[in-house]
Structure 1
Amino acid sequence: MDQIAPLLATPDDEDEERDRPFNAYRFAASDNARGIVAEAIALLLNYEERFGLGKNKRRDVDQQTFDLTVDAVLSDLMHHHIIEYPLDIYVTRSNRVLGTRSRYRPRAYSKVFPRIIDLLAKPELGYVQQDKAAPIPGASKSTVIRPGPTLLARMRDADIDADDLDEHSHGETIILKRTKDRDDYWDEGGLEQYDDTPATNRYRQELDEINQWLASADLRYDPLRIPEPHTAFDIRDRRLRRIFARARFDSGGRMFGGFWQQLRKHERRQGLRIAGEKAVELDYGQVGARILYGMTGHFPATDDLYWMHGYGQQRDGIKKVMSAMIFAEARLDRFPKGTRQLFRKTDRIGEVVDAIEAKHPLIKDQFHKGLGHDAQFIESSILVDVLLDLRAKGVVALPIHDAVMVPASKMSITEEVMLCVFNAHAHVQGTVTVEG
């Protein structure tokens, strides 16, 4: 993958563990951790000189980038090992990403990044182990790295823990993704450069206010009585980013980031504490469908938009198919990924689509027009305003796409805010449920 920072990891299934992207903003924050990094830098420079790998002495600015990159790689690997994340870290070796100046690119990424990784992975040095991506279609497109034996030994000797490491402030929080070329297997969609406007400045200011608020919030996690396996995370990871889609700032815009979004549902609901209270999750119901009604100036005729005669036991499947119909640009001719098992063997996708259209004649013509990201922009704007309103009322809230987690004692005021904001943006009445 050609992501240049950990801000584009957007898993579709929260219960599926994945390699995580390299965090280029990590750094050694204690004397012990800085000592490990300094020793590694000295050994790398000595290795280069011994084997004649550096033709000329680096300029000061290039040496600073070299040092910062080594610091980021080793610090992220140490942090990864400490929190016992079960899989590996993936990094990019793409010249297209590393060689292009960008508002998104952290200083630790440059054209020499792969060379530094290769040096750290030399068996004689042993700081990194890496598995390079195979340059063939169908294979993994990412190089993964993990701590090498030398780094693990240095960590044990120095008794390194999470408090020895920290993060620089991330760069850009307003992310614009371009449209992926469906005919190009290697095209990951990538990031789009943009000039700031009053709108992007406002989005960034709003998110800065929310991030500062969450950084100082009283958040705790108690894994007691939560069955294994436990998701590995850092409770200090609270920074949110908004990711817009299709090279437009009125498309997508959901907030990603924050340790709570990494947790599985049962972990969040059982282990998370906000201001000393059990956290509860309030979720907008049928959000995409209701927003689509509002976009067309109509009101839903029924309370439950997913219940349909003849498919009473297939409501979960109807929900997912209807969502796919909102995003699709052509009429569905097969069940969307992961939905076939939600229906009976005798059910056919054409019949399901027909039934959904018959249930919703007022918005029938809006399906299969690719309006999903437009509806998602309205949804994301709703969540931002919900957070800002709750912040003004002194209620700490953690966003999870179309839901928020709040202290149990704040459910009533949160529901009131959520319904009011939804109506103002979507122009139809919303529904809010307490999950779990």
Structure 2
Amino acid sequence: MPKPHRSEDAASLSRNWKPFRIPLTVPAVALVNGIIVEIMAEEGRTRQRRRRDADVPNFKRTIGAIVADLAHRLLEIEHDPSDIRLPGVRLTLRTSKLGRKARRYDPPFLGKTLPTILDTMARCGLVTVEKGEWSGSDEPGKLTIVRPTLRLAEMLTQADLQFPDWGLCVDQEIIMQRSANDDPQHKGALVDYADDANTTGLREEVRRINDHLRHADITVLKDDPALARINPALRFVQRVFNQSSFDHGGRLGGAQFWTMLHRHERSAVRIDGHPVATVDYSSMGTRLLYAEAGVLPPDGDHYDLDGFGPAYRDAVKRFASGSLFVKGRPLHEVTPRRPSGLRFGLHLETLPYGTTMGALTTAWERRHAGLRWATWGQPSRQDEEVQQTGWLYRGLGHRLFRRESDILVRVLLTLNAQGITALPLHDAVLVARPHAEVARSVMQSTYLEATGQPIPVSVD
């Protein structure tokens, strides 16, 4: 079973609305246009003033975005077609949000008329609207849930519209910046920014990657019924920077169907008709830290620690990733304990019985003693605590993510220039198996050029 959408709410069968969804094919556009005509006729019975000509395109795009995402939602999740409570999408109808000055991330067509449009669609028997509630404070309230009616679901079924009929418009922002957030369980808020030569260059790189993906031959075998609800047309990449800085983060996110698949499900992906291989950098996070320190990394798997063998690799990897973001002291000393034995996303029961975080920290520091004792210049008074732990706990995680993502973008562009399609997975790529060795060579040479150090690259 593919991974659920990160905003999925099983109780309400809803997820966040994707307002940039659009009809792609002639049948989908025809259905949406028919609905627009019906809504305008319904409006004509009650509307006092004629809509301004300049507002008509935004009106139509809003209806198209609602219908397209509800149609996609019905295809995403298994449901009883006769159930009156069909899967829906969550959105806000607060006029303070809809009427705010547009940011680069906001759909330019969306405005204060959204509640009125939804009310009209409800009168036409196309949607149901479960109104949200304000929390009464700055805390998040309950979002409005919009669901297709049985009538709209039947219209979509009769038109035989499937995933390829719906897409994402390409004029949305692809360079995202988020604010600082001390809670690793939540994203920072989107931050607006002024464009300069740097952001323009970053955007052009991602645009080129998206252009290649949009025209690539990528399919998913549907032999497994669970994969029938995967849309291989979802191949839209964005770069997401963190801490309100373009020096931090930059990993590739967006709507990417392959990130919704578990490892064993990737065998169903086909690129140019071929099965795919996963070409993966080995221990890239810690190796980038060694490169920053100017110290040669040890051989072997960096997550293979004394007392924590291969069976615990995933848990050690999660611990190591968290350690890149803390400063001055080990991770378990600065991260509060979470419920049910959970610390920094790591369940204690995934480790050997009786293991303490202190024991894991000791094993980690022994494995990477070269980083602990590496020096990094004359410290300021505030950094004396950090200096005592060398490079192990310098809080460089977001900065390393920027280096990692820069390297991966360069890998993607190099492979695309050779006519090779590659799907990004943080510090790995999926490529057609006949191109796996070329991808490995490109990844190794790109890393060496960026850091001055070699790195193992595996092919699975």
Tell me the distance in 2 between the aligned counterparts of 1:14 and 1:88.
19
Q: Does 1:373 align with 2:398?
A: yes
Change (3 A) 1:130 1:353: farther
Report which stretch shifted further, 239-248 or 359-368. 359-368
CA RMSD in angstroms, aligned pairs only: 3.0
Tell me the distance in 2 between the aligned counterparts of 1:40 and 1:409.
46
Q: Does 1:326 align with 2:321?
A: no
Change (3 A) 1:115 1:326: farther
Q: Does 1:15 align with 2:3?
A: yes
SS state at 1:314 partner: helix
User: Does structure 2 retain, via aligned residues, the 8 Å contact 1:240–1:255?
Assistant: yes
- Map 1:124-135 to 2 at 5 A: 124-135=123-134
- Superposed displacement of residue 236, structure 1: 2.1
Q: Does 1:337 align with 2:337?
A: no
- Superposed displacement of residue 282, structure 1: 0.9
User: Does structure 2 retain, via aligned residues, the 8 Å contact 1:291–1:428?
Assistant: no
- Map 1:3-402 to 2 at 5 A: 15-18=3-6, 19=8, 20-29=15-24, 32-48=27-43, 50=45, 54=47, 56-82=49-75, 84=77, 88-95=88-95, 97-98=97-98, 99-120=100-121, 122=122, 124-136=123-135, 142-162=143-163, 164-180=165-181, 189-224=188-223, 226=224, 228-230=225-227, 232-256=229-253, 257-268=255-266, 270-312=267-309, 313-329=311-327, 331-333=331-333, 334=337, 335-364=343-372, 365=389, 366-402=391-427
AA at the equivalent of 2:417: A
- Superposed displacement of residue 103, structure 1: 1.4
Deviations 1:219-239 (A, max 9, x none): 222132x4x532623222222
Tell me the distance in 2 between the aligned counterparts of 1:328 and 1:370.
5
SS state at 1:282 partner: strand
User: Does structure 2 retain, via aligned residues, the 8 Å contact 1:279–1:406?
Assistant: yes
User: Does structure 2 retain, via aligned residues, the 8 Å contact 1:231–1:264?
Assistant: no
User: Does structure 2 retain, via aligned residues, the 8 Å contact 1:176–1:245?
Assistant: yes
Q: What is the aligned length?
A: 414
User: Does structure 2 retain, via aligned residues, the 8 Å contact 1:85–1:231?
Assistant: no
- Superposed displacement of residue 174, structure 1: 1.1
Change (3 A) 1:156 1:309: closer
Deviations 1:287-324 (A, max 9, x none): 11111111111111332211222223533322211111
Report the counterpart of residue 424 of structure 1 in structure 2.
449
Aligned-residue identity in percent: 29
SS state at 2:235 partner: coil
Q: Which structure 1 residue ranges, 5 or more long, are not aligned? A: 1-12
User: Does structure 2 retain, via aligned residues, the 8 Å contact 1:231–1:262?
Assistant: no
Tell me the distance in 1 between the aligned counterparts of 2:140 and 2:203.
37
- Superposed displacement of residue 115, structure 1: 3.7
Tell me the distance in 2 between the aligned counterparts of 1:23 and 1:203.
24
AA at the equivalent of 2:401: Q
- Superposed displacement of residue 202, structure 1: 1.3
SS state at 1:24 partner: coil
Change (3 A) 1:340 1:427: farther
Tell me the distance in 1 between the aligned counterparts of 2:232 and 2:70.
17
User: Does structure 2 retain, via aligned residues, the 8 Å contact 1:127–1:148?
Assistant: yes
User: Does structure 1 retain, via aligned residues, the 8 Å contact 2:318–2:346?
Assistant: no
Report the counterpart of residue 431 of structure 2 in structure 1.
406
User: Does structure 1 retain, via aligned residues, the 8 Å contact 2:282–2:455?
Assistant: yes
AA at the equivalent of 2:317: K
User: Does structure 1 retain, via aligned residues, the 8 Å contact 2:324–2:392?
Assistant: yes
Tell me the distance in 2 between the aligned counterparts of 1:314 and 1:104.
40
Change (3 A) 1:378 1:221: same
Change (3 A) 1:97 1:247: farther
AA at the equivalent of 1:102: R
Change (3 A) 1:34 1:320: closer
AA at the equivalent of 2:176: I
Deviations 1:404-425 (A, max 9, x none): 1111111211111111111222
Tell me the distance in 2 between the aligned counterparts of 1:377 and 1:38.
44
Deviations 1:172-214 (A, max 9, x none): 111111223759x9x9522111122222111111112221122
User: Does structure 2 retain, via aligned residues, the 8 Å contact 1:22–1:90?
Assistant: yes
AA at the equivalent of 2:70: L
Report which stretch shifted further, 299-308 or 150-159. 150-159
SS state at 1:398 partner: strand
Change (3 A) 1:343 1:158: closer
User: Does structure 1 retain, via aligned residues, the 8 Å contact 2:104–2:192?
Assistant: yes
Change (3 A) 1:76 1:412: same
AA at the equivalent of 1:69: T
Tell me the distance in 2 between the aligned counterparts of 1:206 and 1:29.
25
When the two structures are superposed, what TM-score results if normalisation uses the length of structure 2? 0.80
User: Does structure 1 retain, via aligned residues, the 8 Å contact 2:179–2:243?
Assistant: yes
Tell me the distance in 1 between the aligned counterparts of 2:115 and 2:393.
43
Deviations 1:322-343 (A, max 9, x none): 1111123564244322431221
User: Does structure 1 retain, via aligned residues, the 8 Å contact 2:290–2:297?
Assistant: yes
- Superposed displacement of residue 373, structure 1: 1.1
Change (3 A) 1:119 1:345: farther
Change (3 A) 1:355 1:142: farther
Deviations 1:40-62 (A, max 9, x none): 43444455555x5x564432223
Q: Which structure 2 residue ranges, 5 or more long, are not aligned? A: 9-14, 80-86, 338-342, 373-388
Tell me the distance in 1 between the aligned counterparts of 2:4 and 2:165.
29
User: Does structure 2 retain, via aligned residues, the 8 Å contact 1:382–1:422?
Assistant: yes
